[in-house]
């Protein structure tokens, strides 16, 4: 068990190193650099700025310096937010994304499992058709449309009722979180519903359910112990990556609802070619994703009796 985890962690480090290296060189090959600005700079100013940020060194040297600092967990100072350390940016803004992400995942997972089980139970009947129709919508409509529409309907609702039911945008209270979390979790919920449905159907026609039925096990027990527990396994598998994806992919939602999350900094850094922030957020997100995948594999060992981690 311990050996397995150690092995996975080691693999994880290799993966993160690979992500960092690929990003580093891709970033340096894009035309322009963080110092490019619409007011042209004199050669002296540029040279001074390059010296200040170490951009005057050859890329290979910069890479080695980056690796050395990475080992110390130091990503340096942002080029754009000139007085802020990348570590501070991550520390201040990741919790916001994380809170939003956790809320959306909880929302998506409970909704997905419930609706998935429901559609499987009522297969080819009205609830099934209705929910599956909404699921297709949820998967195919992009989040910026959903976000904008939901915000617009909030405005209409608030205007109609004459008081603020839920705030339209901003961050701070739970009321601010509900709508963005709902929107952010929607496509994952739709995806999980579909997954849960197919896995429920598979389990329902399995031998052990039929055996249980023929033994005269009470239906409630069959449903919870045999069907749900087995059907939920694939959902748990995708949950880890889903948490990472939701937490890192909230850019559009963060923008529309004016939420100070890390996703916004991540995307803006790429647009601004803010080297240090690009590297910091990419490595951080990469490590986070790898960690979630490992975590799920370990959890799987507990949930699924067929999986043994000692092998």
Q: How far is the CB of 62 from another protein (least distance, A)?
A: 18
Q: Interacting stretch for another protein, rule CB under 8 A, among 67-75, 134-142, 255-263, 290-298?
A: 255-263
The Cα angle at residue 192 between residues 222 and 151, in degrees rounded to 5: 135
99 forms part of the interface with another protein (CB under 8 A): yes
Q: Which is nearer to another protein, 115 or 290 (CB)?
A: 115
Q: Interacting stretch for another protein, rule CB under 8 A, among 9-17, 29-37, 56-64, 65-73?
A: 29-37
For residue 98, the number of C-alpha atoms closer than 13 Å in the C-beta half-sphere is 10
Q: How far is the CB of 121 from another protein (least distance, A)?
A: 6
Q: Which of residues 44-73 bind another protein (CB under 8 A)?
A: 44-45, 48-49, 52
Q: Which of residues 173-232 bind another protein (CB under 8 A)?
A: 173-174, 176-178, 213, 218-220, 222-224
Q: How far is the CB of 114 from another protein (least distance, A)?
A: 6
Q: Which is nearer to another protein, 39 or 72 (CB)?
A: 39
Q: Which is nearer to another protein, 80 or 299 (CB)?
A: 80
22 forms part of the interface with another protein (CB under 8 A): no
102 forms part of the interface with another protein (CB under 8 A): yes
Q: Which is nearer to another protein, 14 or 175 (CB)?
A: 175
Q: How far is the CB of 51 from another protein (least distance, A)?
A: 9
Q: Largest Cα–Cα distance in the chain?
A: 86
Backbone torsions φ then ψ of 173, nearest 5 degrees: -110, 170
255 forms part of the interface with another protein (CB under 8 A): yes
The DSSP symbol for 38 reads S
For 89-128, letters b (16+ CB in 10 Å) and e give bbeebbebbbbbbebbbebbbebbbebbbbbbbeeeeeeb
The residue with tokens 């069959």 is 222
* Site size for another protein (CB under 8 A): 74
Q: Which of 228, 237, 250, 217 is nearest to 101 (CA)?
A: 250
- 192 burial (CB, 10 Å; 0-12 / 13-18 / 19+) is buried
């Amino acid at each position: 068990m311990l050996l397995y985890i150690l092995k996975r962690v080691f693999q994880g480090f290799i993966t993160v190193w690979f992500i960092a290296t690929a990003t580093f060189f891709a970033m340096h090959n894009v035309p322009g650099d963080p110092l490019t600005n619409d007011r042209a700079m004199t050669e002296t100013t540029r040279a001074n700025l390059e010296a200040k940020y170490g951009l005057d060194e050859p890329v290979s040297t910069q890479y080695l310096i980056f690796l050395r600092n990475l080992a110390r967990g130091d990503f340096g100072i942002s080029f754009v937010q000139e007085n802020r350390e990348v570590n501070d940016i991550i520390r201040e803004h990741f919790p916001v994304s994380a809170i939003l992400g956790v809320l959306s995942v909880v929302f998506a997972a409970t909704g997905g499992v419930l609706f998935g089980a429901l559609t499987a139970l009522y297969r080819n009947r009205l609830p099934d058709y209705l929910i599956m129709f909404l699921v297709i919508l949820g998967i195919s409509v992009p989040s910026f449309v959903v976000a904008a529409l939901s915000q617009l309907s909030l405005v209409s609702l608030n205007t109609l009722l004459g008081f603020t039911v839920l705030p339209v945008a901003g961050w701070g209270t739970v009321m601010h979180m509900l709508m963005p979390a709902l929107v952010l979790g929607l496509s994952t919920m739709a995806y999980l519903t579909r997954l849960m449905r197919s896995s429920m159907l598979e389990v329902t026609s399995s031998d052990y359910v039929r055996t249980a039925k023929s033994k005269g096990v009470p239906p409630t027990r069959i449903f919870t112990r045999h069907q749900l527990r087995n059907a939920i396994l694939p959902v748990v598998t995708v949950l880890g990556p889903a948490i990472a994806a939701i937490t890192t992919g909230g850019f559009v939602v963060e923008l529309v609802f004016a939420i100070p999350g890390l996703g916004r900094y991540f995307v803006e850094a790429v647009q601004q070619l803010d080297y240090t922030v690009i590297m910091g957020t990419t490595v951080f997100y990469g490590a986070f994703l790898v960690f979630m995948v490992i975590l799920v594999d370990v959890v799987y060992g507990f949930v699924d009796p067929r999986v043994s981690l000692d092998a």
